[in-house]
Amino acid sequence: LFGRFRCAKRPAAEPKGEVRIRIVSDSHVVDINGPNTCEVLDPAEAMALVSRIGPDVLRADADPDRAFARISKSRTSVGQLIMDQSVMAGIGNIYRSEILWRQRIHPHVPGQRLARADFDRIWDDAVTLLERGVKANAIITVEGAKKSKSRYGERVNIFAKDSCPACGGAISGLAMRVSLSSRRMIWSSRRQIQLADLAL
């Protein structure tokens, strides 16, 4: 999620910024700037890393049953589970908040209480939104919207908003420990009431 690839024809200028790896061919130079983790892996190590990743919602051959099997056995909240890359790969904090809002599912619902039909809606919406994001090169979760003129071009319904566009209710936020860092989880206090009592 962090870092940048820079490609230039040879001869290339001196590296700029925090270049972690420079790859040089006969004709081009590729610099990889600033990722949090950057390692060279042999084939066995690469396969071991890939095997730890959950099904990627952007892959045509992804297996949603594998993700649901993990979720349905867990007491952890669905809000944490769908952002755990070992459960479902590809969903970040903004997509998590937007997908659960769009599907009217409270983020505190334990995974084991999530119905298969609700999971299927989460999965299908993730596919729709992430494919749209790849095409637009921006996170766009508002139906019919185009990229904004902001730095990242985002168009979102509730993330970092004060009120819900559907019900007018207040947007709630809670800092949660998820994976390696504390991330803010956002939901609508009125709209996302489905199964909320089960989370208590």
Which helix (H) or strand (E) is 186 found in, with range? strand 181-188
Q: Tell me the pLDDT band of 176, cut-offs 50, 70 and 90.
A: very low
Contacts of 56 (CB under 8 A, 6+ apart): 62, 89, 90
Task: Name residue 89's beta-bridge partners.
Answer: 56
User: In the prediction, which pLDDT does 163 show?
Assistant: 82
- What are the pLDDT digits (tens) for 126-156? 999 999 999 999 999 999 989 888 888 889 9
Q: Which residue has the tokens 């505190």?
A: 108
CB 102 within 8 A of CB 70: no
* DSSP-assigned states of every residue in 104-145: T--TTSBGGG--HHHHHHHHHHHHHHHHHHHHHTS-B-STT-
Q: Is 45 helix (H, G, I), strand (E, B) or coil?
A: helix
Look up residue 129 and give its amino acid.
L
pTM, whole model, 2 decimals? 0.74
Cα 37 from Cα 76, distance rounded (Å): 27
